Amino acid sequence: MHIRTPDIGIDLGTSNTLVYVRDKGIVVNEPSLVVVEGANRRQLHAVGDEAARTAGRTKDSQIVIHPIRNGIIADFDMSVLMLRYFIRKAVGVSNVTRPRVVISVPVGLDDINRRALAEAVRSCGIRHVHLMEKPLAAAVGSNLPAYDPVGTMVVDIGGGTTDVAVISLGGMVVCQSIPVGGQTMDTAIINHIKREFKMLIGGLTAENLKIDLGTAMPLTEPRSVRVRGRNLLAHTGPRGCHEIDYTTQQAYQAIQEPCKAIVNTIRWVLERTPPELSADILRTGIHLTGGGAQLCAIDQYIATELGIPVLLARDPADCTVQGLGHVVQNMQHYMEMGRMPPLG
Ligand SMILES: Nc1ncnc2c1ncn2[C@@H]1O[C@H](COP(=O)(O)OP(=O)(O)O)[C@@H](O)[C@H]1O
Ligand SMILES: [Mg+2]
- Please check the confidence at residue 29 and state whether its pLDDT lies above 90: yes
Q: Whose CA is nearest to atom 9 of ligand 1?
A: 291
For the chain, give every residue range classified as CATH 3.30.420.40.
8-32+67-137+319-336, 145-180+257-314
Per-residue confidence at 54, pLDDT binned at 50, 70, 90? Answer: confident
C-alpha–C-alpha distance, residues 163 and 324, integer Å: 16
Residue 67: CB within 6 Å of ligand 1?
no
The finding on whether 13 has its CB within 6 A of some atom of ligand 1 is: yes
pLDDT tens for 159-175 read: 999 999 999 999 999 99
Is the pLDDT assigned to residue 281 strictly greater than 80? yes
Among residues of the chain, what percentage have pLDDT more than 90?
84
Q: Looking at residue 92, what is its pLDDT? A: 84
In ligand 1, the atom with minimum distance to the C-alpha of 296 is 3
4 — pLDDT class (breaks 50, 70, 90):
confident
Q: Is the pLDDT of residue 177 over 80?
A: yes
Is ligand 1 within 6 A of the CB of residue 211?
yes
Q: Is the CB of 134 under 6 A from ligand 1?
A: no
Confidence of residue 120 (pLDDT cuts 50, 70, 90): very high
Does the CB atom of residue 31 touch ligand 1 within 6 A?
no
Q: What is the CATH number of domain 182-253?
A: 3.90.640.10
pLDDT for residue 58 is more than 80: no
Nearest to 324 by CA among 136, 124, 58, 188: 136
Mean of pLDDT values over 130-134: 97
Q: Contact 162/134 with Cβ under 8 angstroms?
A: no
Give the residue range(s) of CATH 3.90.640.10 domains in the chain: 182-253
- Look at residue 93 in the predicted model and tell me its pLDDT: 72
Do residues 10 and 68 make contact, with C-beta atoms less than 8 angstroms apart? Answer: no
| Tens of pLDDT, residues 228-266 | 999 888 665 566 788 999 999 999 999 999 999 999 999
- Helix ranges (DSSP H) in 40-198: 48-54, 76-91, 111-122, 134-141, 182-197
CATH superfamily name and code, 145-180+257-314: ATPase, nucleotide binding domain (3.30.420.40)
Supply the residue whose CA is at minimum distance from atom 7 of ligand 1: 294
Regarding the beta carbon of 282 and ligand 1, being less than 6 Å apart is answered no
Judge whether 43 and 34 are in contact, CB under 8 Å. no
Q: How far is the CA of 215 from the centre of ligand 1 (A)?
A: 14
Cβ of 183 closer than 6 Å to ligand 1, yes or no, is: yes
pLDDT > 60? residue 190: yes
Statement: residue 102 has pLDDT above 90: yes
Find the 28 Cα to ligand 1 centroid distance in Å: 16
Q: Which atom of ligand 1 is nearest to the CA of 210?
A: 4
Residue 98 scores a pLDDT above 70:
yes
Q: Tell whether ligand 1 has an atom less than 6 A from the beta carbon of residue 150.
A: no
- Position 314 scores a pLDDT of 95
**CA nearest ligand 1 atom 6, residue:** 292
CATH match of 8-32+67-137+319-336 with 3.30.420.40: yes
Ligand 1 mean position to 209 CA, how many Å?
Answer: 13
Does the Cβ of 258 fall within 6 Å of ligand 1?
A: no
